[in-house]
Chains A and B, each alone.
Chain A
Amino acid sequence: MSRFKNKQGKETPKVSTASLPDIVFMLLFFFMVVTVIRQKETLVDITLPQATEIAKLQNSRKTEHIYIGQDRRATTHEAPRVQINDKFIQVDDIHFTIADPAKDDDIIALEVDREVSMGIVTDVKTEIRKANRLKIHYMANQDYEK
């Protein structure tokens, strides 16, 4: 009888929080693995166009990015500029910078603002062809409306 009463009076045991750090660490590792820290800061303003037939960039660590857009610091409407590796570059010099026979199979990602005109894009594409880096990706965002 006394044993029975004793049991009833017992408080509900606390939920063990010992495994909480493990759960949080698991989340932490997940985020660390999934996210890509961008070391490159863009000097140009870019709003990507939208498209439906897009594929994920394979081997994103090996891809080189070329940015085309208006200078971020520009106060008035200016001609678009080209950025590779943290700095602005003249269009005519692009093929010297990116030509590398060892990288012929690596992809070049073109990140171009949607309002840029095709003239400069074509010039950049010609430079890419001169450098014999023929695999490119036109970066775009998924169009969810279609």
Chain B
Amino acid sequence: MLKNKRTRTSDEINAGSMADIAFLLLIFFLVTTTISAEKGIMAKLPPYDDDPPQHVPVNTRNILSVKVNKDDLLLVKGKELSIGELKDFAYGFIMNYGKDDNLSEKPKKAIVSLQNDRSTSYEAYISVYNEIKAAYNQAWNEQAEKRFNDEYENLTIPQKKEIQKEIPLVISEAEPTEI
């Protein structure tokens, strides 16, 4: 009789409240944490040099000069453009292959030159940078389609390097003007 009782008590721990505890923890985590999307535009800065940069003669047709003034207005190759037109213009400039005398001779020689005022807003700067990146991404994608029959995203790293060698992304940022 006695023995029987003892075996019954050490039967099993009631796991019914386990769900409640787990729910409590779950709700705690749900409330306290925010899924932060850590995303951004990748960029590489040039190394710092104390000397003023040397003047390298470049044919002006190969430079896409983009100026953003203090009112966030754009001047692209001497013409006023809106931000919505910039991507197509930049794409036309990169992939010109010598057709238009004012645009680049070939993608390898194309350089984008960015200049802004000190009071240009960061938002305007980022949208210009974004549009130029978008133009290059489009060019890379089309080149990838032509060469490897696949989207640029899906290529292997050596393949991507090959495409970037053909269409290099060169953005030169001038010192901002003091306005």
Interface residues of A (CB under 8 A from B): 17-18, 20-21, 24-25, 27-28, 31-32, 34-38, 49, 51-57, 60, 63, 109-110, 112-119, 121-122, 125-126, 128-130, 132, 134-142
Contact = CB atoms under 8 A, between A and B. Distances in A.
A18 B35 CA distance: 30
B22 A24 contact: yes
Contacts of B46: 129, 134
Contacts, number: 145
24 contacts: A17-B16, A18-B15, A21-B19, A24-B22, A27-B26, A37-B32, A37-B33, A38-B34, A38-B36, A55-B42, A114-B121, A114-B123, A117-B118, A118-B116, A118-B117, A118-B118, A121-B125, A122-B176, A129-B47, A130-B48, A136-B43, A136-B44, A138-B43, A140-B40
A109 B38 contact: yes
Interface of B: 15-16, 18-19, 22-23, 25-26, 29-30, 32-48, 116-123, 125-127, 129-130, 133-134, 137, 175-176
Given A31-B26, A117-B122, A54 B39 contact: yes
Contacts of A125: 45
Given A21-B18, A28-B22, A129-B48, A118 B121 contact: yes
B117 A136 contact: no
Secondary structure call for the A interface: mixed
A49 B26 contact: no
Contacts of A128: 45
Contacts of A109: 38, 40
B40 A57 contact: yes
A134 B37 contact: no
Given A49-B123, A52-B134, A142 B37 contact: yes
Most-contacted residue by chain A among B22, B23, B118, B122 (CB, 10 A): B122
A138 B30 CA distance: 28
A117 B126 contact: no
B55 to A, nearest CB: 20
